Amino acid sequence: MREADERPVAYPSRFDGTRPGGDGQATGRRPVQRLNPANPLWGSNGIAFGPDGRLYVAEFLGGRISAVDLDAGELDVVVPAGGPVESPDDLAFGADGSMYVADLVPGRVWRRSPQGEYSLVCDEVQNPNGITCVGDRLFVNEMKPDGRLLELFPDGGEPAVLTGGLALGNAMQRGPDGWLYYPHMVSGQVWRIPPDGGEPELVADQVELPVAVRFDLAGVLHVLSLGPEGRVTRIDLHGTGSRTVVSSGVAGLDNAAFDAENRMFVSSYATGGITEMHPDGRTRVIVPRGFDGPYGVTVDLGGTVYAADHYRVAGPPAAEEDTRDAAGAEGPVSHVLAPFAHGIAADGDLLHLTSQFGDVRTYDPGEGTMRTRVVGLRRPMGIAVGPAGALVVAESGGGRILSVAEDDTVTVLAEGLGRPVDVAFDAAGRCHVSDERAGTVVRLEEDAATTVVADGLGAPQGLTVVGDTLYTVETGRRRLRAVSLTTSASWTEAEDLPVGGSPGAGHRQPEAEPALFANGLPGLARRFAGIAAAPDGSLVLSANGEGTLLRLTPSGPPE
């Protein structure tokens, strides 16, 4: 394996080989700079060693399963996006080498045979997440309030319910005593139950946000916490029951696996990547972490770039410094975990966020506080600060533009739009809106009417205004379009952008992308290619098709 002081292997963009030059770089009249490397894993959730010795990784947001050769650092996509598996969250291998996959959003469990053939095991599980095999037996639990733990029968038969009452189940495993161990994420507990059923027993209480339970080869229980510190609690079940808590610095831990040498490898739902974690908390990067999106992007007055990255607020590494973060990884720097953040706007020392939960929040980095401003909106996306200080939000699912006052009063500025995605203000204080469905950018007038500024666009999303020029990211044509607000002249600043769905992914149409599960848990990310202007006149945009932030300096209208 690579030495600890070596840097991780660099991985290509998903768009490499699909555009002129074959290097995944956008083309245009000015150079386009990547602020961070392309993301190799679209989040990393369940992980398990396969019969071939490789580490298999379920990419929930990417809809894929990849296999990592830990010695060479090579990564192969084994289950591509666009197939029958939509949102793999956890996986396990049976005694015959079959891979079993918990497909979270549609509520299905799949079997993939050693020959690569798929069969549906069960579609009667709500939010299946934790999954494990005991020999040729298959068990799965539900990530929902009052969830169930079930045994499934790949060769047919009704699921057998071992127990209910799980307070959000997740990654589970058979212990050395033969019982199944599983976490309750909400109540902070670890429980166990015999695989043939019986009365569940409490194993550990007051464990911080337990997301996964794993046993090492010595039989020590490791409980992963999903918070920002990357904590792992080790519990000695054979002796005194003593606990040892170690912090890895890997934000948003999701799962772990031990190899034949008892080395521990962890995944992160929030930052992706695969990391080896030593017993003392030291880490070694195997696959670098990256952006899950990024989606909305903003630049503060000091030039710091922030991106809303579905599970967190993050930014690119500082170019003039070593680009490893606190856990040793090259890639984005996490500022705060902020579940399901998609829109973002800097406002002095504050950051305003929209979320797939349907809310608007204000984060104070200095105080470390998060204030909820509005709840119950339908897919709020882009957000901007108006001239008078009110927040203006594009409610994509409701076809409305909303104003949120300092006292959190909500006013409807416009309604009846197709699918508004982003908002931006010009120097005169006029609000502009990108309408993805209509293919237009419109300006809101004082009488609540709208004036078309640009039409015939291909799914415009991110929007910003610099001086006299409006810029929008056309995700349908993968280009950056500019429009003069004075002359109405328009031109292309960059094209072949890595935005939207990656090649061959077969993503859903926006109307079919679930924002929430029926029980209120989050679903798949709603894609959003944001753009923002920096104080130096450059533009920063979200290349959410490859997991990077791009910077370019616009050229202006062609001569």
Residue 15: its pLDDT value, please?
75
- Is 0.85 topped by the overall pTM? yes
pLDDT tens per residue across span 139-192: 999 999 999 999 999 998 999 999 999 999 999 999 999 999 999 999 999 999
The residue type at 155: D
Q: Which amino acid is at 3?
A: E
Strands (E), 415-525: 420-425, 431-435, 440-444, 450-454, 460-466, 469-474, 479-484, 490-495
Rounded mean pLDDT, 283-291: 92
Band (pLDDT 50/70/90 cuts) for residue 418 is very high
Average pLDDT for 124-137? 94
| pLDDT higher than threshold 50 for residue 326 | no
Whether 390 and 403 have beta carbons less than 8 Å apart is answered as yes
Distance CA 373, CA 258 (A): 43
Q: Which two tokens stand for residue 81?
A: 């996006």
Q: Are 401 and 393 in contact (CB under 8 A)?
A: yes
The pLDDT score that the predictor gives to residue 556 is 83
525 touches 310 (CB < 8 A): yes
Cβ atoms of residues 242 and 204 within 8 Å: no
For residue 21, pLDDT beyond 60: no
From CA 459, how far away is CA 507, in angstroms rounded?
A: 15
The pLDDT value recorded for residue 240 is: 76
Q: How confident is the model at residue 43 (pLDDT cuts 50, 70, 90)?
A: confident
What is the rounded average pLDDT of the residues 500-524? 51
Of the candidates 291, 290, 284, 294, which has an alpha carbon nearest to the alpha carbon of residue 330? Answer: 290
Of 517 and 274, the one with more pLDDT? 274
CA angle 465, 411, 522 (to 5 degrees): 80
Find out if CATH 2.120.10.30 is the number for domain 297-318+328-552: yes
- The burial of 243, by beta-carbon neighbours within 10 Å (0-12 exposed, 13-18 middle, 19 or more buried), is given as middle
Confidence of residue 25 (pLDDT cuts 50, 70, 90): low
Coil vs helix vs strand at 477: coil
CATH of region 42-287: 2.120.10.30
Can you tell me the mean pLDDT for 258-273?
95
Confidence (pLDDT) at 416: 95
Residues 6+ apart with CB under 8 A from 162: 139, 148, 149, 150, 151, 180, 193, 195, 197
Q: What are phi and psi of 482, to 5 degrees?
A: -115, 145
Listed by start position, the domains of the chain span 42-287, 297-318+328-552
DSSP E strands, 210-349: 210-215, 221-225, 231-235, 243-247, 253-258, 264-268, 274-277, 283-287, 297-299, 305-308, 310-315, 333-347
CA 444, 446, 447, 453 torsion: positive or negative?
A: negative
Asked whether 382 and 400 are in contact (CB, 8 A), the reply is no
The stretch 517-541 carries a mean pLDDT of 78
- pLDDT over 70 percentage in the chain: 89
- Beginning with the edge strand found earlier in the chain, give each strand of the sheet holding 210-215 in spatial order: 210-215, 221-225, 231-235, 243-247
Other C-beta atoms closer than 10 Å to the C-beta of 254 total 27
Taking the CA atoms of 289, 295, 296 and 297 in sequence, report the sign of the dihedral they define. positive
Residue 282 pLDDT > 80, yes or no?
yes
Same CATH topology for 42-287 and 297-318+328-552? Answer: yes
Closest CA to 150 of 134, 167, 136, 138: 138
What tens digit of pLDDT does each residue of 437-470 get?
999 999 999 887 899 999 999 999 999 999 999 9
Higher-pLDDT residue of 314 and 4 is 314
pLDDT tops 80 at residue 331: no
Instruction: Give the model's pLDDT for residue 412.
Output: 96
Contact between 197 and 204 under an 8 Å Cβ cutoff? The reply is no
Beta strands in 377-426 (DSSP E): 380-385, 391-395, 400-404, 410-414, 420-425
Instruction: Give me the pLDDT at residue 276, please.
Output: 96
Tens digits of per-residue pLDDT, 237-253? 887 778 999 999 999 99
- The confidence band for 88, taking pLDDT boundaries of 50, 70 and 90, is very high
Question: Quick check: 216 pLDDT over 80?
Answer: yes
DSSP state of 389: S
